[in-house]
Amino acid sequence: MTTFTDILQKFYLESPNRACIYLQRSGQDDLSISYSQLIEGANAYAQIYAKKGIKSGEVVVLILQHSPDLLYAFWGAVLHGAIPSIMPFLTEKLSPERYREDLSALISVTKPVSIITYPEFEGNIKDAFDEGDSVREVILSDEIPSASRVDFCLLSGLQHSPDDIVLLQHSSGTTGLQKGVALSHRAVLKQLNAYSESISLDREKDVIISWLPLYHDMGLIASFLLPILKGIPLVLISPFDWVRAPYKLMHSVSQYKGTLTWMPNFAYIFCARKIRERHLEDVDLSSWRAIINCSEPVRWESHQDFFEKFKEYGLKLESLQTSYAMAENTFAVTQSNLLHPPAIDNVDAESLSTGGITRPASAESLSVKMMSSGRAIPNTRIRILNLDGEEVQEREVGEIALKSDCMLTEYYNRPQTTEKAFEGEWYLTGDFGYLVGEELFVSGRKKEMIIVGGKNIYPQDLERLVYEVDGIHAGRAVAFGLYDERTGTEEVIIVAEANVDTEEARYKLADEVRKHVTINSAVALRQVKIVPEKWILKTSSGKAARGANKEKYLREA
């Protein structure tokens, strides 16, 4: 077994001029970074970490935007033997007060010794400090020495063992400052090996294109560590540039002959609806062998919309693939077969929403097309458990549990949380799903389930129906439950964004949503609130932050 630093040393000595990253920045030429440039830039950060007295095994938090500094600061921590954790940068969509509160909470639990950021952001960082905090140094990007040749003998990271913690991933929240998932060199490399086998990764032919932020596991593992540690060229687009101009993804695939990309489900709808034909002139997507949908429940309808939009530009239907992934397993738990479109299960909607056995749909019943997230990757096993922790039969909905050799070491500095997450060797994911043969179908989050009159309702199912109503913004609706003392059960609330100016128009659109959801689900929907753009709060990974939106709704009610 080996470590990250061993792999970097090998690339530095054997393939120093091999291009590893093409960094795309708005208004600038693409920056090509070779392995020697990456490692020498990282070495400059390793030197400043050593100068500031940061020890091997201590945590450093990186609050940097899409830039060479972010790449060098991360790998510099690895070379030095420190434990890097990338945090979201404060943007206009995040409340500065909430951001500082969450950063302060993170510091109190994770106890980083240093935060790396820009000079102009130093004040925001220090505002989050409390007396007696663990942070000894705020390192600013303008104090980093010039890149220089690397003497690996001087680097503490070379002394790491495979079981040492190499990084922290923080699970997504409204600003991403949640539980720290501690991963060892061994766990990450076991994941990369198993996942590479599942997607038939080819060092000579594959090119990965990504716009994903590096503070999220899909961006950090699949679209950063995987290509760099496996020698696959990576084209890295700024997430902010992608949101403003999603067609840049298509241009990058066309320009670099990209073969692999990972995206959350909402991004398929976003691309299909936001990209105009005038932005696709001379675009060729035929090189794309897999666009892998993960990070939230995958939707057949999203794939269909994406395919219909881009098929005339060379996109193949079998390129639209799926995975079930989570930071606690480093990344992937399952992966669909890249040679065929993912399996579809047309199920009776009521049997899915009420739990128990998912029945195939009949001609008379309301149906839902469930799309498989694939089969377990080679080093991972899956079980479906009922509320008593017993394994259930095929097609029965229950909690997904997994066991692998690439699991987290711990939730960092949270021993009780770590203990509660496991039942023996099995990690309890908190997600619901069912198996058909070896194919996993994911239905939703256990903690987000709404219980109405004894029926289990998945908010994602209701949100999917809301998006079918004309005028509702794609990916900008949230469903949650509120307990009603009069009825003794929860009542479903839906909040959705739309561009409507008058009270009458809002009332009319809310009525259309009520009718559509009531007709097409097991819920008699009564409460719908139509809100303006940017009302709904999102997590760092782009999902609706249900808890935060519920709090906001109650404050305004």
Q: Model confidence over 401-410: pLDDT tens digits?
A: 999 999 999 9
Q: Is 50 exceeded by the pLDDT of residue 177?
A: no
At residue 550 the predicted structure's pLDDT band, cuts being 50, 70 and 90, is confident
- How do 398-404 and 380-385 pair as beta strands? antiparallel
At residue 523 the predicted structure's pLDDT band, cuts being 50, 70 and 90, is confident
**Topology given in CATH for the domain delimited by 35-178:** Rossmann fold (3.40.50)
Of 192-206, 240-254, 357-371, which gets the smallest average pLDDT?
A: 357-371
Strands (DSSP E) contained in 485-551 are 489-498, 527-531
Q: Considering all CA atoms of the chain, what is the largest pairwise distance in Å, rounded to the nearest integer?
A: 72
What is the pLDDT of the chain when averaged over all its residues?
A: 90
d(CA 241, CA 364): 46
d(CA 461, CA 446): 14
At residue 170 the predicted structure's pLDDT band, cuts being 50, 70 and 90, is confident
For 472, phi then psi, to 5°, come to -85, 135
Assigned architecture for domain 343-445: Roll (2.30)
d(CA 395, CA 348): 12
Nearest CA to 345 among 364, 323, 360, 366?
360
Tokens standing for residue 38: 């990456």
The amino acid sitting at 153 is C
d(CA 166, CA 160): 9
The amino acid sitting at 356 is G
How far out from the chain centre does Cα 551 lie?
Answer: 23
Give every CB contact of residue 151 below 8 A, 6+ residues apart in sequence. none
d(CA 170, CA 539): 12
Residue 474 in contact with residue 499, Cβ under 8 Å? no
Nearest CA to 225 among 442, 406, 429, 89?
406
Residue 370 in contact with residue 443, Cβ under 8 Å? yes
What's the pLDDT at 387? 85
d(CA 476, CA 341): 27
Residue 12 in contact with residue 41, Cβ under 8 Å? no
Mean pLDDT of 227-255: 96
Residue 305 in contact with residue 353, Cβ under 8 Å? no
State pLDDT tens for residues 387-405: 889 999 999 999 999 999 9
In a 3-state reduction of DSSP, which class is residue 32?
Answer: strand
Nearest CA to 462 among 488, 485, 491?
491
d(CA 546, CA 236): 30
Domain borders along the chain are 35-178, 343-445, 449-556
What's the pLDDT at 310? 98
Token pair 């060729």 in the structure block, residue: 284
Could you count the other beta carbons within 10 Å of the beta carbon of residue 385?
17
d(CA 265, CA 475): 9
**Topology given in CATH for the domain delimited by 449-556:** GMP Synthetase; Chain A, domain 3 (3.30.300)
The amino acid sitting at 470 is D
At residue 174 the predicted structure's pLDDT band, cuts being 50, 70 and 90, is very low
For 33, phi then psi, to 5°, come to -120, 120
At residue 315 the predicted structure's pLDDT band, cuts being 50, 70 and 90, is very high
Share of the chain above pLDDT 70, in %: 94
Q: Is 50 exceeded by the pLDDT of residue 176?
A: no
Token pair 């500031």 in the structure block, residue: 52
State pLDDT tens for residues 91-103: 776 668 878 888 8
Residue 227 in contact with residue 257, Cβ under 8 Å? no
Following CA atoms 81, 83, 88, 90 in sequence, which dihedral angle do they give, to the nearest 10 degrees? Answer: -80
How far are the Cα atoms of 48, 142, 160 from residue 51, in angstroms, in the given order? Answer: 5, 15, 20
The amino acid sitting at 427 is Y
